Structure 1
Amino acid sequence: MTSSLELYDVTIIGGGPAGMYAAFYSGMRDMKTKLIEAKDELGGRMRIYPEKMIWDVGGFAPIQCEQLIRQLEQQTMVFDPTLVFGQQITGLERQEDGTYLLITESGEKHWTRTVILAVGRGILKLAKLEIEGAERFEVTNLHYTVQEIEAFRGKRVLISGGGNSAVDWANELEPIAAKVTVVHRQDRFGGHEKNIVRMKESTVDVRTRHVVANLHSSDGRTIEKVSIRHVDHEETEQLEVDAVIVNHGLKADFGGITSWGLNMNDWNVFTSSKLATNLPGIFAAGDFAAYDSKVNLIAGAFPDAVLAVNSAKLYMDPAAPEVAYVSSHNNRFDEKNRELETVEQK
């Protein structure tokens, strides 16, 4: 069954920050690496907010998310891993020799000694606004992601949601929009404390205990007003708007991974402190991994990736060093350092 397939030391499922860094670090450990991404590009969840400024990654303060993705992509390719796009892994079969056969939704097969699950929140689908007919405004001024911040300059923007994304976009848009209103059904926001304080101390009009009840349009194409309703006493109010941004979270689809026998809940797989799952030779990293002292930041994806790769290496070869040599002493970088020196001399 596997004789016609190429065997890899590690196959990383997922091309977000954890998966990309795992592909780089496994190269430092001289592992034959494959990365499989269900979409057609790397970046994972970061692709949802390309213009957002990222402040909490060491060495970059701040950096635009799109630029961070580009630099991670370059780092990913340092040791030339095999990249596979547009394939969602659903099946897993353990072979008699302990290796694994990964099977995609369309029937392709991949053979590997170990697996790192860096699937984040799965195949993410944005939660839509549950108002009849709302979809017709998606081509004009109803938005579920922010691709270009400048498109909102001088406009009256209503943001529906109370998580990190809603709070972050309120802060990003407040200096350039004519007015920003945030509507949230609860009293408390789910974003980072510092960002919540910043939003509340700005000119953002914060309406807690409210929901978007209706969208109003005279031409049937563009939202002109929004009715918001108080969740306790049902009173409504109309607000004039030029744009509506909905951040109601994401729905996850992990495909067939949920049937593998992993110890997991709706969103995460439970791992050891060294990112091992309950299945031999299968590890996790990034948002998908849950363990004591977990750091739920993009920056936290990188140590996760290192730990998962080290565990995969030791699973294959218990006599191997526990960690890779640092880059200044790692002979995997000798040739690349000479290439950089040649470029600088030119």
Structure 2
Amino acid sequence: MPEELYDVTIVGGGPAGLYTAFYSGMRDLKTKIIEFSSQLGGRMLIYPEKMIWDVGGVKPILGGELIQQLIQQAKTFDPTIVLNQKIEKLEKQSDGTFILTSASGEKHYSKAIILAVGYGVLSMQKLDIEGADRYEVTNLHYTVQELEIFRNKHILISGGGNSAVDWANELESIAASVTIVHRRDEFGGHEKNVLRMRESSINVKTPYEVVQLHSDGDVIQYVSIVNKETNEMERVQVDAVVVNHGLKCDYGALEEWGLEIQDGVAIVNEKRETNIEGIYGAGDFIDHPSKVRLIAGAFTDGILALNSAKLFLEPDAPKVAYVSSHNIRFKERNKQIGLVDNDYREVRG
């Protein structure tokens, strides 16, 4: 039995990959998504309780809820979804099609590929203090899965990037106190969020670093921090410690495929084309002169990558999809929810 050949295979099931799958359906392409983990959602799975404000037309929404909406949207045109497969090998056949082979040996056949792998397989940067791992089962956290477990507690956050600043702001309203410790005076978060943090009751300690954890058994009670300029030591009483020191990224065998990768990201042009014909990129995995590192930017990447793939497969096709109010692929679905008449004009049912 011949293997099934797809028009487009999207590697990566985060926001970029999910929206690209939806848009691929709008362009009437046979689509497959392959995701390394057991769940769709990508990096956002780490922050299900994080409030997201910057998706156009969507009110502030929890990361976990946005994931579910993206998954539902991605399934609109019934793409094939494959979980728990890490793609390791890429082969280009004589007819121009590709074979993707997973670590477990499964093969996937596709005419075009869109890489939306984010930063690859992610793992948290751990706190570099001997014995810190013993507290991971009690009150040392590397992400915030549930805000409520921090209510009325004294919290210390170590880190200075977007996540550290965001969590400080989120927790400030429910915690007894929040202290944020960063090795530099400048924070890497969005300017407005950093300003909000500095103007709040959050105790901002810079340039400080966590150097020791003090416990009673397996529960941290105090944290020693040191001023990086004066070597002055302080102790901070805590009920919980949250560490946001960034993520370790691992692209694995993908880095051996011959893609142009610089500083950990793939270089693409304005059409989201990589240096390998038939392979495109979207989301955090790629860089280009006008790159926007927001979810909205990932959606745009996916659209442009998919349009390029469509024209690669069908050079005479329209350059972009018709808007949903005029796209024939929505005709039956609109009828099902009672929103359109026979002329495709939107009306109330």
TM-score (norm 2): 0.96
1:218 shift after superposition: 1.9
- Using a 3 Å threshold, how does the CA distance of structure 1 residues 345 and 164 change in structure 2: closer, same or farther? closer
Where 2:297 maps in the other structure, the secondary structure is helix
Partner of 2:120: 122
- For 1:302, which of 294, 299, 306 is the aligned residue? 299
Pick the aligned partner of 2:184 from 169, 183, 186: 186
Which residue is 2:141 aligned to?
A: 143
1:289 paired with 2:280, answer no
* Aligned with residue 63 of structure 2, among 62, 65, 83: 65
How is 1:29-68 mapped onto 2 (pairs within 5 angstroms)? Answer: 29-68=27-66
Aligned to 2:247: 250
1:134 shift after superposition: 0.5
* In structure 2, distance between residues paired with 1:333 and 1:274: 26
- 1:289 Cα deviation (Å)? 1.3
1:233, distance to aligned residue in structure 2 (A): 2.8
Q: Using the TM superposition, give the Cα deviation of residue 5 of structure 1 relative to its aligned residue in structure 2, in angstroms.
A: 1.3
Measure, in 1, the Cα distance between the counterparts of 2:267 and 2:205: 37
User: Which of 88, 111, 114 does residue 90 from structure 1 map onto?
Assistant: 88
Aligned residue for 1:278?
Answer: 275
Q: 1:4 aligns with which of 2, 5, 12?
A: 2
* 1:250-272 CA-partner distances (Å, limit 9, x unpaired): 00011111001101124210001
- Asked whether the 8 Å contact 1:89–1:255 carries over to 2, the reply is no
Correspondence for 1:316: 313
Q: Residue 28 of structure 1 corresponds to which residue in structure 2?
A: 26
Q: C-alpha distance in 2, partners of 1:203/1:68?
A: 29
| Aligned counterpart, 1:340 | 337
Task: Give, in whole Å, the separation in 2 of the partners of 1:233 and 1:194.
Answer: 30
Alignment of 1:200-239 (within 5 A): 200-219=198-217, 221-239=218-236
- Whole-Å Cα distance in 2 between the matches of residues 345 and 239 of structure 1? 59
5+ residue gaps, structure 2: 340-346
Contact kept in structure 2, 1:276 and 1:282, CA below 8 Å? yes
Q: 1:293: Cα distance to partner?
A: 1.0
Aligned to 2:95, the other structure's residue is in SS state coil
CA drift at 1:345: 9.7
Whole-Å separation in 2 of the counterparts to 1:93 and 1:70: 33
Mean Cα deviation higher: 238-247 or 225-234: 225-234
**2: CA distance between counterparts of 1:345 and 1:235?**
67
Q: CA deviation at 1:125?
A: 0.5
1:71, 1:249 → 2: CA distance?
A: 26
Superimposed CA distance per residue, residues 200-248 of structure 1 (whole angstroms, 9 cap, x where no aligned partner): 00010001111100000122x1000000011223221111100000000
Q: Which amino acid aligns with 1:161?
A: G
Deviations 1:87-125 (A, max 9, x none): 011110000000000011111110000000000111110
Once residues 17 and 264 of structure 2 are traced to their aligned partners in structure 1, the CA distance between those partners, rounded to angstroms, is 17
Instruction: Write the distance in 2 (CA, Å) between the matches of 1:147 and 1:122.
Output: 21
Task: Determine which of 193, 196, 211 is the counterpart of 1:195.
Answer: 193
Aligned counterparts of 2:102 and 2:253: Cα–Cα separation in 1: 9
In the alignment, is residue 112 of structure 1 matched against residue 110 of structure 2? yes
Instruction: Report the equivalent of 2:342.
Output: none
Alpha-carbon distance, 1:63 to partner = 1.1
The CA RMSD measured in Å over matched residues stands at 1.5
Question: Corresponding residue for 2:344?
Answer: none
Runs of 4+ in 1 over 4 A off after TM superposition: none
Structure 1 contact 11–112 (Cα < 8 Å) conserved: yes
Conserved? CA contact 1:117–1:284, under 8 Å: yes
* Paired residue secondary structure (2:269): coil
Q: Residue type matched to 1:225 in 2?
A: Y
Other structure's SS at 2:216 match: coil
Q: Counterpart of 2:229 in 1: which secondary structure?
A: coil
1:143-202 alpha-carbon deviations (Å, 9 max, x no partner): 001011111111000000000000000000111111100000111100000000000000
Instruction: Give the whole-Å Cα distance in 1 for the aligned partners of 2:269 and 2:212.
Output: 47
Corresponding residue for residue 269 of structure 1: 266
Identity of aligned residues (%): 60
Conserved in 2, the CA contact under 8 Å of 1:124 and 1:251?
yes
